[in-house]
Structure 1
Amino acid sequence: MQRAAGGGGPGWLRDLTRTKPVDQIVAEGGHGEGGELKRSMGLLQLTMFSVGATLGTGIFVVLGEAVPLSGPAIVVSFVLAGLTALFSALSYAELAGTIPVSGSSYSYTYATLGELVAWVCGWCLLLEYAVSVSAVAVGWGQYLNELADKTIGVTIPAALSSPPGGGGVVNVPAVAVVLLATFLLLRGTSESATANTVMVFLKVGVLVFFCVVAFIAFRAGNLTPFAPLGIAGISAAGSKVFFSYIGFDAASTAGEEARNPRRDLPLAILLSLGIVTLLYVAVGLAAVAAQPWREFEGAEASLAMVLDEAAGVPWPSAVLSLGAVIAIASVVLTVLYGQTRILFAMARDGLIPRIFMRVSPRTAVPAANTVIVAAFVSLLAALVPLGRLADATSIGTLFAFALVNVGVMVLRRTRPEMPRSFRAPLFPVTPLLGVGFCVYLMIRLDVATWTVFVLWMLVGLAAYFAYGRRHSRLRRAEAAAGERA
């Protein structure tokens, strides 16, 4: 059994840098004092979880921001962003197959970089998951309104579809989609996975429908000049569309509910990234071939604009709105799921209260955890204009990605003999590139986003020293072992 390791120096420093033994993490996987999770998910469900978390509002709105930067070369920008995500995906795939537990990058960093870094990573994931799902839920109401207006000519009053400060009183649709996802999650993992798989197939079908309609209006002249703004424009657009790839790591939060995690988790992560990249490239090509690239400037609903022009009738854009409604519901479901499983792992380690690790004996899901997270997300989505806070989810995600890439390199050095079901190729080039691209994209974010991120980190560190460090199970176990010695 690998022993817990910590840095030298004072006791407090050893506390902060102690790593949790990989063998212990794996042995604890699937159960804890609060009960056991149930292994019910196969490769298809895991892949659809990652696709479901990734394929959301981004592709429906991002072209209006990215195409003016790159022109028709947006297809190259999507490939560039996909390759950037791939470096981190390879690291996630290796660690998911080696440490197949629910904590995702939180657990990976606990095994490789120490308790304090793991806490910081978990805190970043809280920002990524909880805040982003709130922002996504807010967007759901807007698309629902658009769909209702196009199909039955009815819209929800602004007072009930926007938060205070955004022209309304309470955002009822945002709460409704969170409650729907919560209902599915509380029924059981298998039921949630089935519902998500159906929704993913539907939203993929809608994007394929978009490509078919848009390609009918294909104009070769719209693709020339192909890169009017050069390499700089392609790179700038790549940075914009990269954030449409966030979510491919969702399968790694299901490590303790996968039937064959060592085989299926790496495959699910890489397959989902491949599926999403293929869809994005096809949608981007169809859009710029059907519409002159300069007309995308300032278009918020860029795909709907393309369909309106290509088809000449309103019903195809109504189908697209339906796809957006389904896409966002799927994102809410999968991201809520991921958040609860990360909190489950943190609670099992004693870093947050034990209520988050209690598993329902009937449904084999962390029910109290799910209800608490859903209540927090619902309040945030219903009452708070998210603004810059939602933008900060990107920086938290990139920070977690960078830590996973570093973790792969550390574990290769400290545990080279450990069996790995998947190995990142061209090591250490790929994880080093993963770190480099993440740092590059973080640097490109604005000062306001960095300010929110730093403030969030300060709050997280205060919470760790006030609660997490004192209640750490690993720290207590080491203290008890020292007393016996």
Structure 2
Amino acid sequence: MLALPALAAAAAGPASVLAWAALLVTSVPIAACFAALGARFPDGGGVATYVHRAFGPRAAAIVGWWFFGVVPVGVVAGAWIGGQYTAAAAGLGDTGTAAVAGLVLAAAFAANLGGLHLSSRVQLLLVGLLAALLLAAVLAAVPQLRAAHFTPFMPGGWSSVGSAAGVLFFAFAGWEAASHLSAEFADPRRDLPRVTALTLAVITVLYLGLSLATVGALGPAAATTDTPLTELLARSVGGAARPVAAVAALFLTFGAVNAYLAGAARLGAALARDGAAPRWLARGGGPGEVPRRSLAVLAGACAPVGAVAATGAADLDRLMRATSTCLAAVTLAGVLAALALLPRRTPLWWAAVGSAAVVSTVLALSGPLLLIPLALAVAALCFQAVAQRRRARG
């Protein structure tokens, strides 16, 4: 929400709004599939559990490694966005960006160590406050909208819209992340469909509103700024908006990082429970428990990714595209599992068919970044082979 409007505008110009709209439309069947799977098979393993039921343990292990392995990249990217907004408001520079990003990560890990009950309460508060703030920012930008900012509409052609969709998938991949928390719902069959429908309504308003406001109010500047929400607010209410945007960015990035760490930590414990990861990771994976060992592994993986970002070896766009590629692979595996597990030729089953086609297209646009899920798949299979040999010797 804080960085993607600018990254998409840099890729496709005003036509980036088409990528936003297309992904919102295709989110409906994808969200419906994951809500149905979570309601039927609530488990901390999420997509890996569904794939295990549909295609067996080897495929489930690969999917689990895809998600668990890329979360450190995604959360560092998220924290980096909060650092950029804060550094821009305070004039801290690149060093300040890295320092603030580190603090966001530390706070999210601390919240999760406090237990998922505390974490979910914090998450609910953040979502409510920030949704209201973003809606206010969109409404405040309405007087600044200019039709001239939408021309030329598609300077890079249709391929640029596909490129924008590739990076934007980062914002549409939360359905499979939430599925890892399905077992935490009191009544998954009742609650998951309701939560999914409400989420779809909220993100449709916020995503489309923010993308249109960013392009329409900022014009060409939308593609060159690191802090589009700050620029949007500053043009509407003046320079006082900069510290407000910085605080908002900190809360929003903390919320996103917090949610992904919660899901990934539970997934790590579930993978260990099922023999797809080292057994010692399974501790703390039961309902109401805190998977501290899994969180520790995630923290250790975040350190080198953060170092890469701090040295400039990989910019924010590259980090987010890498994350999007792996999450798209996870999403595709999930909807393929839905095809096997849901009743055939029902509306949900046809939704899975359409979802598979859409996500396959997004993956095809990822190019060389497809090597990342390939490498994680190889690592997962190698671990399983070694584990099987050890069990055979024992």
Residue 307 of structure 1 corresponds to 233
Alignment equivalent of 1:460, drawn from 360, 363, 380: 380
Match of 2:364 among 435, 443, 456: 443
Equivalent residue for 1:354, pick from 255, 272, 279: 279
Give RMSD over aligned pairs. Answer: 3.1
Instruction: State the Cα distance separating 1:61 from its structure 2 match.
Output: 2.2
Q: Does 1:380 align with 2:304?
A: yes
**450-459 vs 314-323, which deviates more?**
450-459
List aligned pairs for 1:86-165, cutoff 5 A: 86-149=28-91, 155=92, 158=95, 161=96
Aligned to 2:172: 245
Hey, what's the Cα distance between the residues in 2 that align with 1:343 and 1:362?
14
Name which of structure 1's ranges 233-242 and 128-137 shifts more when overlaid on structure 2.
233-242
Give 1:273-288 correspondences, 5 Å limit: 273-288=200-215
Q: What letter is aligned with 1:326?
A: F
Task: Show structure 2 runs of 5+ residues with no match.
Answer: none
**Matched residue, 1:47:** none
Segment of structure 1 superposing worse, 324-333 or 355-364 = 355-364
Cα drift, residue 138 of structure 1 = 3.4
Distance in 1 of aligned mates of 2:320 and 2:14: 29
For the residue of structure 1 that corresponds to 2:43, the secondary structure is: coil
1:317-332 to structure 2, matched below 5 A, reads: 317-332=242-257
Is contact 1:218-1:289 (8 Å) kept? yes
Q: Secondary structure at the match of 2:171?
A: coil
Q: CA deviation at 1:173?
A: 3.3
Identity %: 24
Q: In the TM superposition, what is the alpha-carbon distance from 1:110 to its structure 2 partner?
A: 0.5
Q: Which structure would you say has the larger Rg?
A: 1
5 Å-filtered alignment, 1:15-94, equals 59-67=1-9, 72=14, 74-94=16-36
Q: Determine the C-alpha separation between the residues in 1 that align with 2:360 and 2:59.
A: 17
Letter in structure 2 aligned against 1:135: A
Conserved? CA contact 1:101–1:255, under 8 Å: yes
2:108, 2:257 within 8 Å by CA — same for their partners in 1? yes
Report 1:174-213 matches (<5 A). Answer: 174-213=101-140
In proportion to residue count, which structure has more helix?
A: 2
Give the corresponding residue for 1:316. Answer: 241
Aligned to 1:400: 330
Give the TM-score taking structure 1 as reference length.
0.71
Against the structure 1 CA distance between its residues 90 and 144, is the aligned structure 2 distance closer, same or farther, given a 3 Å change threshold?
same
Distance in structure 2 (CA, Å) of the matches to 1:197 and 1:88: 23
Distance 1:220 1:372, change over 3 A: closer
Q: What corresponds to 2:222 in structure 1?
A: 296
The Cα of 1:231 is off from its aligned counterpart by 6.2
Q: CA deviation at 1:118?
A: 0.4
CA shift at 1:68, angstroms? 5.6
Which deviates more, 362-371 or 436-445? 362-371
CA apart distance, 1:390: 5.5
Q: Quick one: which of 352, 364, 369 aligns to 1:431? A: 352
Q: 1:429 offset after TM fit, Å?
A: 2.7
